[in-house]
Amino acid sequence: MAAPYDLNDDGVVVIIGTGAGGGVLANELAQKGIDVVSLEAGARHNPEDFINDEWASFSQLAWLDTRTTSGDWRVAKDFAGLPAWIVKSVGGTTQHWAGASLRFQEHEFRIKTEYGDVPGANLLDWPITLADLEPYYAKAEDKLGVTRTNGRAGLPGNNNYKVFEKGAKALGYKDVHTGRMAINSADYDGRPMCQQTGFCFQGCKWGAKWSAGYVEIPKGEATGKLEVREQCMALQVQHGSDGKVTGVLYADKDGNQHVQKARAVCVAGNAFESPRLLLNSASSMYPDGMANSSGQVGRNYMRHMTGSVYAVFEKPVRMWRGTTMAGIITDESRHDPSRGFVGGYEMETLSIGLPFMAAFLDPGAWGREFTSAMDGYENMAGMWLVGEDMPQEKNGVTLHPDIKDQFGLPVPNVHFDDHPNDIAMRNHAYKQGMAVYEAAGATRAFPTPPYPSTHNLGTNRMSEKARDGVVNKWGQTHDIENLFISDGSQFTTGAAENPTLTIVSLAIRQADHIAERMSQGTL
């Protein structure tokens, strides 16, 4: 049988979402000859469609459906209706991501053991190790064409990187380079090398950056085994009297509702929509939501310790020229409690354009203190700080008691309180980031607060024991054998590294597992 598939075809695997998790899983399964229907809430945007203008692109790609926020994190004050800067499109947030592709460190798979008791944190070791994931990391790096891995060259450093590198070396940092990036440093996989155009966040118009949207999905479709239904929003996962899932109720672009039958369902709608879907799928058999016997669905939300440092120099930097995030200092990513916190953080070059600088440099600020900073824009360098944050049971996604979406379903509320460890790490990172730029000659530096979250993790976490989390080491829910989680919500903990490479690696591994189970007749 080949795509397109009938709604009553109960032999298909239904995947919800086409981003780093769902898009990769869809292609991997299709390559193995497995019939796949992907439901994608967004529309298709190919490189030629991308807009290199920050606000116009934001309107084109961002997920702007109603979400509410609570908690003491500053995002809830500055961007109350926008907890995350993620994408609604075929390819999901891989259309927008910067491309940083880092493996987790060995100890980051077992931080409960490594860090010990951290008050207020709901720590847990992953049920897998770095050794389990290494073969899949290697496959993922080849799939994404990650620079500085498996013999591929690094990207050249742009102006923003050169300032960053000078400061890093002057400060005594040892491990600074242009990053391991899913952006081609040479032509690769039918896509061109990076042209240093900037606007990586707005979608790469050259296709030099890997995206599930225009790399994985077309390859899957070419097999004849993948049907992508665009602008189709999953509303409910349905189940039979035996408790196994039977299909997915979804609304198409015209608002008409359909049920696609399924042999198995893989949920990859991001760390907000995936738990929301499970909670909205509550039934008499599953009164607390699907796959939620642990009570952990929607909990333990992590968004990485983040912040930025921008700094002004005497002469122009023009940081916006070239790759947005091709620069990294990894010296602070180690676990070293002598710094006053557990876990570590990465420092990565970052630039945003003038319109977004106005919105993000110091949200709500006004007057000459702010505008004199903006007047220094041409002479600015910038970096992003990204580190491991603590899972806390109280942080997460719940269904809003009153506000409903266009389909009549409760919208998600995203609650986040910073853990004291997150705050201590951020303060350390601000200090070090400003020191880097001061060592390169900065005249003024700005410790810039977190943006709406781009790394959204942990709300259906992986655990060895069913009572501690939602899915097992394959991303299969503990409660329902033919229901899987395939996105960053399955992360047990967040590590210091940008999560996409790990999401992709887990998806490749999960595809192998699903195919094996099918061939054994156990799925």
Q: What would the x/- binding string for another protein be over residues 440 to 479, using CB under 8 A?
A: x---------------------------------------
**Cα dihedral across residues 417, 496, 466, 10: positive or negative:** positive
**Cα dihedral across residues 272, 506, 151, 105: positive or negative:** positive
Rounded to whole angstroms, the Cα distance separating 349 from 99 reads 12
CA distances from 302 to 91, 160, 277, 332, 460 (A): 22, 29, 18, 20, 11
Which window, 258-266, 285-293, 374-382, 415-423, contacts another protein (CB under 8 A)?
A: 374-382
Decide: 363 and 79 in contact? Cβ < 8 Å: yes
Q: Which helix H or strand E contains 429, and what residues bound it?
A: helix 420-439
Rounded to whole angstroms, the Cα distance separating 502 from 74 reads 27
Q: How many beta carbons lie within 10 A of that of residue 365, not counting itself? A: 10
Which window, 27-35, 196-204, 327-335, 506-514, contacts another protein (CB under 8 A)?
A: 196-204
Check residue 393 for interaction with another protein (CB under 8 A).
no
Radius of gyration of the chain (CA): 22
Check residue 156 for interaction with another protein (CB under 8 A).
yes
Contacts with another protein by CB under 8 A: the residue count is 44
The footprint of another protein on residues 159-178 (CB under 8 A) is: 159, 162-163, 166
Check residue 358 for interaction with another protein (CB under 8 A).
yes
Cβ proximity to another protein, 251 vs 312, nearer residue: 312
- 3-state secondary structure (DSSP) of residue 261: strand
Check residue 99 for interaction with another protein (CB under 8 A).
no
Rounded to whole angstroms, the Cα distance separating 314 from 308 reads 20
Cis peptide before 4 (omega within 30 of 0): yes
Cβ proximity to another protein, 52 vs 427, nearer residue: 52
Shortest spacing between CB 416 and another protein, in angstroms? 23
Cis peptide before 499 (omega within 30 of 0): no
Q: What type of residue sits at position 16? A: I
Cβ proximity to another protein, 357 vs 507, nearer residue: 357
Check residue 188 for interaction with another protein (CB under 8 A).
no
The footprint of another protein on residues 204-263 (CB under 8 A) is: 205-206
Determine which residue in the list 140, 194, 234, 397 makes contact with another protein, applying CB under 8 A.
194
Residue 146 CA, distance from chain mean position: 17
Check residue 378 for interaction with another protein (CB under 8 A).
yes
Check residue 7 for interaction with another protein (CB under 8 A).
no
Residues 6+ apart with CB under 8 A from 94: 19, 20, 23, 87, 210, 211, 212, 213, 500
Q: What would the x/- binding string for another protein be over residues 48 to 87, using CB under 8 A?
A: ----xxxx--------------------------------
Check residue 187 for interaction with another protein (CB under 8 A).
no
Which window, 72-80, 198-206, 290-298, 510-518, contacts another protein (CB under 8 A)?
A: 198-206
Determine which residue in the list 43, 359, 424, 523 makes contact with another protein, applying CB under 8 A.
359
Q: What type of residue sits at position 386? A: V
Check residue 157 for interaction with another protein (CB under 8 A).
yes
**Cα dihedral across residues 224, 488, 463, 347: positive or negative:** positive
The two three-digit tokens of residue 96, written as one number: 């927008």
Which window, 25-33, 101-109, 313-321, 335-343, contacts another protein (CB under 8 A)?
A: 313-321
Determine which residue in the list 151, 172, 190, 367 makes contact with another protein, applying CB under 8 A.
367
The two three-digit tokens of residue 487, written as one number: 């996105």
> Which residues lie near another protein (CB under 8 A)?
52-55, 156-159, 162-163, 166, 194-199, 205-206, 314-318, 320-322, 353-355, 357-359, 364, 366-368, 370-371, 374-375, 377-378, 440
